[in-house]
């Protein structure tokens, strides 16, 4: 049995395939970002999923692609946890950016971007990922991500920059008590996921001028720092992965056109494409 997993900060999608490369089952756990979630919690989020534990001794390989797995220390933490649970498996842990590449381009060159709970980008030349700037995560970077927009919404609400009609709906949707917000950001697990939860508010008000302006500004910032430095041309394939890109594709395409670029495709969830990539590129 082989497990393939695409792990974001909010959730992780798992697919199990057998020796015939047939899908056995798929499950979703909470996010498994080792850069922001404590080791014990990472362990618990895996062992509490009974479908995974039921087959733990039968798993021969795990291919895990995850947010927070772009640097050695958190990657090693997650790899050790997986090896302690799936004792008979060879465990391969890579960053989520590589899963995005496999899901979007396969083995073809192209620009690949993630706009989900977090954000990132790279240029794939057909063999290797080229990343001009490493991601420093949700506090310092993550332009145009869910947590980026969540922060913007909270800030605009508190500084009274949010239109009153939208602010009233925002109040009804969320607990905006200052102590509650600070507790979730500074003391609870997954502050990035908490911030990203506010971004869902934008989906229902995507036609409001305020929301459109907010999204457009965030996307332009992403292009400025995460795409334009690669010096692409309008023939370069550009792929986006994630819910933010999916739900606001129309605005994303307009921002791309403003920068003389064209988006090739937007993929909301990469797990199905990732599965096909592995079926075609692994020997069982």
- Amino acid 107: pLDDT: 85
Low-confidence ranges of the chain (pLDDT < 50): none
DSSP state of 109: -
Structure pTM? 0.86
* Residue 267 CA neighbour count, 13 Å, CB half: 20
Short-list 34, 17, 18, CA closest to 26 = 17
- Amino acid 4: pLDDT: 95
What number of other Cβ atoms are within 10 A of residue 234's Cβ? 11
What number of other Cβ atoms are within 10 A of residue 61's Cβ? 18
- Amino acid 9: pLDDT: 83
- Amino acid 157: pLDDT: 98
- Amino acid 154: pLDDT: 98
Q: Which residues of 100-132 are buried (b: 16+ CB within 10 A; e: fewer)?
A: bbbbbbeeeebbbbbbbbbbbbbbbeeeebebe
CATH assignment of 2-100+271-281, among 3.40.50.300, 3.30.420.40, 3.30.450.70, 3.90.75.20? 3.30.420.40
Cα separation, 61 vs 122, in Å, equals 27
Cα separation, 127 vs 200, in Å, equals 36
What distances in angstroms separate CA 258 from CA 76, 84, 224, 252, 253, one per listed residue? 41, 50, 12, 10, 9
| 252 touches 219 (CB < 8 A) | yes
Short-list 52, 58, 60, CA closest to 27 = 52
């Amino acid at each position: 049995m082989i497990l393939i997993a695409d792990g974001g900060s909010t959730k992780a999608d798992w697919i199990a395939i057998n020796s015939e490369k047939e899908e056995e089952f798929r499950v979703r756990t909470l996010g498994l970002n080792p850069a922001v979630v404590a080791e014990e919690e990472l362990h618990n989020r895996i062992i509490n999923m009974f479908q995974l534990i039921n087959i733990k001794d039968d798993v021969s390989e795990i291919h895990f692609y995850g947010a927070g797995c772009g640097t050695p220390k958190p990657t090693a933490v997650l790899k050790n946890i997986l090896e302690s649970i799936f004792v008979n498996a060879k465990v391969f842990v890579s960053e989520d950016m590589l899963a995005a590449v496999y899901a979007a381009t396969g083995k073809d060159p192209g620009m690949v971007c993630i706009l989900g709970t977090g954000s990132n980008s790279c240029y794939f030349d057909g063999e290797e990922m080229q990343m001009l700037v490493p991601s420093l995560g949700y506090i310092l970077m993550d332009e145009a991500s869910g947590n980026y927009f969540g922060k913007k919404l909270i800030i605009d609400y508190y500084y009274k920059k949010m239109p009153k009609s939208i602010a009233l709906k925002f109040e009804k949707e969320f607990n905006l008590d200052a102590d509650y917000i600070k507790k979730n950001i500074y003391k609870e697990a997954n502050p990035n996921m908490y911030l990203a939860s506010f971004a869902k508010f934008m989906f229902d008000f995507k036609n409001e001028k305020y929301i459109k302006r907010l999204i457009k500004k965030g996307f332009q910032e992403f292009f400025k720092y995460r795409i334009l430095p690669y010096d692409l041309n309008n023939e370069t394939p550009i792929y986006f992965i994630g819910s933010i890109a999916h739900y606001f594709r129309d605005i994303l395409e307009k921002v791309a056109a403003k920068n003389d670029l064209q988006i090739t495709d937007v993929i909301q969830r990469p797990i199905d494409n990732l599965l096909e990539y592995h079926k075609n590129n692994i020997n069982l």
